[in-house]
Structure 1
Amino acid sequence: MQIHIQRAVEIASSPDMVHVTCQGVPIYIQHVDEKNEMCRVYPLDQPNNERDVHVSALEEHRG
């Protein structure tokens, strides 16, 4: 399910881990720039590999 900007904000501020991917890679949303609809993310297994992606590139997977 594609994520909208408000949902990205909710996920980023949530204390619970939410399964989100970017191009099939599980990621953590570190920060959300609501004005530009960009998210600062990193792969769960590579916390030093931060990058900015458009919110449309993110997918939420619900169990």
Structure 2
Amino acid sequence: MDRKRATELANSLVMADVTYEGRPIYIEKVNSGRETASIHFLNQPHYSQEVSLTQLVENQ
């Protein structure tokens, strides 16, 4: 996923269908300088991790 789209989704009020390693996630924030995002799995809202933007997939 590119940085612009990830930022749009992170700032959106609508929950997008985004996955990381095939599991649904929520993008908390985009770290543009490192091309990463802070995310959490939908079933683990208290466990945040930083992942590469290239590993995020938006499902249409």
- Which TM-score band applies after superposition, normalised by the shorter structure? over 0.9
Match of 2:44 among 35, 43, 46: 46
Overall identity of the aligned pairs, in %: 35
- Number of residues of Structure 1 aligned to a counterpart in Structure 2: 60
Q: CA RMSD of the aligned region, Å?
A: 0.5
The TM-score with structure 1 as length reference comes to 0.92
Matches within 5 A, 1:1-63: 3-62=1-60
- What TM-score do the two structures reach when normalised by structure 2? 0.96
Q: Which runs of 5+ in 2 are unaligned?
A: none
Runs of 5+ unmatched residues, structure 1:
none
**After TM superposition, which residue ranges in structure 1, 4 or more long, deviate above 2 angstroms?**
none
